[in-house]
Amino acid sequence: MMDGTMNEDWIENARMIVESARAVVPADGNLARVRAARFQGCGFDRAVMAQAAELGWPLMRVAEDAGGLGLGLRETCALMEVLGAGLLPEPVLSTITAAALLQEALPEEAMTGEAVIVTAWQDATGDQGWQGGARDGTLQGTKVHVPGADGADLFAVLTCAGVAIVPRDAQGVTVESAETLDGCRPGRVRLDGVAAEILPCPRAEAVLQDARLAHAAYLLGLSGRALEITLDYLRVREQFGRPIGSFQSLQHRATEMKISLELSRAAIFATARRFDAGADPRARAHGAARCKLRASALAMLVAREAVQMHGAMGITDEADIGLFVRKAMAEANTYGSPREQRATLTGLLAEEHAA
């Protein structure tokens, strides 16, 4: 168990990280930049990724002896919660994950922000596996749902044998991307006999579990801000001569969302604390799946209720809440859908009963 000093250290670290995030996520919740970036170019701003590198975000999960910051999951989750509240479209988490996989092998240009590196790990739609890829010193296969693929310079490709750094312009690499509901452009990376050095990565599964938990924090931030916007609307929208927020049925539904939000926050940060303290593999797998399942359900609950309470304007581009609804729908399945998280939890439970 960590002592009080270490506990205070993470709180101070998280506070500084949250303050640094204000450089790209306005404290007043202004979404002008996010709105302008949708359906434009590669779906994100490379200048913001360079700014993230200047702030040290890609190095958060890189060990200090490898030149990184060596920070924990609680600090990472604190950052992702702020980025979720701001609907940040940039693939910051994917870059943090790539750096965590590569450690001291992370290219200098990725550290400085001159190049954007993202993680390509998922082998097939609906599959959490990352077993494909390496044979005779070459990479073969397809990686799907790669965040920021359309604007990336480098890919950290995860295989059963380890991780490889693959330049976008390497021979045999083909990137296909398509716009999603939220205006971003995740992609499919095809690898056809790509020559690459495969670096050992024994902690690959743990790194993906970390990413799953951090993404749950992103959904938490998104849900929290969407709920704030909805509650503000309930206070000003009038019907039958009084604010609709005074209607008991809507108060009950708002309370349900608030309780779900706080339970999700408690679960995510308690799990992050256990990860930082060295949870065993089974506890890690259970914690990451449980938090991701809870956060996805929360995001969709708040999105549905926001549309119900705002009416038709809840899904319009003109209303900020519409952006949150679209982002929730686009991000709920990232790092594993609710169905996949339930399958993971069911498998762990079956193993416990069989033991």
Q: Summarize the confidence of residues 322-337 as an average pLDDT.
A: 94
pLDDT of residue 2: 42
248 and 189 within one domain: no
pLDDT in tens, 54-100: 999 999 999 999 999 999 999 999 999 999 999 999 999 999 999 99
Side-chain-side CA neighbours of residue 212 (13 Å): 30
Q: Summarize the confidence of residues 26-30 as an average pLDDT.
A: 91
pLDDT of residue 4: 45
Q: What is the CATH number for 267?
A: 1.20.140.10
230 and 108 within one domain: no
pLDDT of residue 314: 74
Q: Which residues contact 339 (CB under 8 A, 6 or more apart)?
A: none
Q: Summarize the confidence of residues 103-111 as an average pLDDT.
A: 95
- Give the pLDDT band of residue 233 (cuts 50, 70, 90): confident
Domain that holds residue 159: 4-195
pLDDT of residue 322: 94
Alpha-carbon span 282 to 161, nearest angstrom: 22
Is pLDDT of 310 > 90?
no
Is pLDDT of 1 > 60?
no
Q: Using a pLDDT cut of 70, give the percent of the chain over it.
A: 91
pLDDT of residue 244: 61
267 and 144 within one domain: no
Q: Which two tokens stand for residue 305?
A: 């209720």
135 and 234 within one domain: no
What one-letter code names the amino acid at 184?
C
Q: Which of 153, 173, 195 is the last residue of a domain?
A: 195
Q: Which of 195, 222, 240 is the last residue of a domain?
A: 195
- Give the pLDDT band of residue 131 (cuts 50, 70, 90): low
Q: How many CB atoms lie within 10 A of CB 342?
A: 14
Is pLDDT of 127 > 70?
no
Q: Summarize the confidence of residues 201-224 as an average pLDDT.
A: 97
259 and 349 within one domain: yes
53 and 178 within one domain: yes
64 and 181 within one domain: yes
Answer for the pair 161, 138: CB distance below 8 angstroms, yes or no: no
Q: Summarize the confidence of residues 93-117 as an average pLDDT.
A: 96
214 and 182 within one domain: no
158 and 106 within one domain: yes
User: Whole-model pTM?
Assistant: 0.93
Is pLDDT of 48 > 80?
yes
What one-letter code names the amino acid at 8?
E
Phi, psi for 240 (deg, rounded to 5): 55, 35
pLDDT in tens, 250-296: 788 889 999 999 999 999 999 999 999 999 999 999 999 999 999 99
320 and 229 within one domain: yes
Element (H, E) at 300: helix 281-310
Q: Using a pLDDT cut of 90, give the percent of the chain over it.
A: 74
Alpha-carbon span 51 to 74, nearest angstrom: 22
97 and 37 within one domain: yes
Q: Which of 195, 213, 240 is the last residue of a domain?
A: 195
Structural domains in the chain (count): 2
Is pLDDT of 208 > 90?
yes
83 and 226 within one domain: no
Q: What is the CATH number for 138?
A: 2.40.110.10
Alpha-carbon span 264 to 275, nearest angstrom: 16
Q: Which stretches of 89-154 are DSSP H helices?
A: 92-102, 108-112
